[in-house]
Amino acid sequence: MIAKLHIKAALREGKTFLKRSFFTHPFKLANVTEDKSQNQLQLMLMSSSPGVLDGDEYEIKIELEEGCSLQLQTQSYQRLFTMKKGASQNMEVNMCKGSSFCYLPHPAVPHKASDFVAANKINLSDNCTLTWGEIVTCGRKLSGEEFQFTRFQNHTEIFLNGRLVVKENLLIKPSAINVMAIGQLEGYTHQASLIFIDEGAAVNELISKINDTLIGVESICFGVSALSVKGVIIRLLGYKGEQLYNCLQLISRFLPAKAFV
């Protein structure tokens, strides 16, 4: 099944509004903005499907006009069911000058024999703020399906005024890669990442705050690095998807207010 979602947000009288939206089954979209006086628009991406099925092709496009702010939330964990052919997702985000986008989705749970490939392309203009997260689990651990999926791949490219500034390629293929080896997960079962870009960010101060926040969290391993542009990338390893999801939410509190107001 080919499923499509198109969101276009714009600014009107200092507030972000949904200028245009289009979606096909199983996608649904809900406006969950609580404070209508704030600049940011908060949307929730929902699905009537229990998860990603064999042969599914998801196509998502998001456009932000100048000065607007959008936070896209997810409804629940993304389950990737058993597959023969595989499934894919392509997501494109285009951000005009001074716009802000935050996307911290729930964890992905690849079931036994699932084969999923995602490609993300994000185009930033001047003075944009991007908060982009990702969490992947080992599968249904309590059902004995730990790392029994075929493949999970998530490829992300971020461009600033047409110049490639960040390139990420997460590939987990248990049949070909020893996920417990040195340099891989080294005994952990879940991993998360967060990329934050903002031309006005005080990077060193931000890194210090994130380190101070995560150092007290039990049973995780993490690292924070500065990007080649004004921003940071955070990587976390752990044993529980909910814990890593909460960590990303916790980190978001230290990001510049422009990303969330």
Q: Does the pLDDT of residue 257 top 70, yes or no?
A: no
**Does 26 sit behind a cis peptide bond, omega within 30 degrees of 0 on the bond before it?**
yes
Band (183; pLDDT cuts 50, 70, 90): confident
pTM for this structure?
A: 0.94
- 153, with CB counted inside 10 A (0-12, 13-18, 19+), is middle
Q: Over 70: is that where the pLDDT of 258 sits?
A: no
Task: Round the average pLDDT of the chain to a whole number and report it.
Answer: 94
H helices present in the chain, as ranges:
203-214, 241-252
Domain that holds residue 194: 2-259
pLDDT value of residue 260: 42
Residue 75's φ and ψ, nearest 5 degrees, are -85, -40
202's tokens: 């005080």
**pLDDT of res. 38:** 85
Q: What is the pLDDT of residues 112-133, one digit of tens each?
A: 999 999 999 999 999 999 999 9
Q: How many distinct structural domains can be found in the chain?
A: 1
At which residue do the structure tokens 């059902």 appear? 143
Lowest mean pLDDT among 101-115, 126-140, 172-186: 172-186
> Across 137-228, where does the E strand assignment appear?
151-160, 163-172, 190-198, 221-226
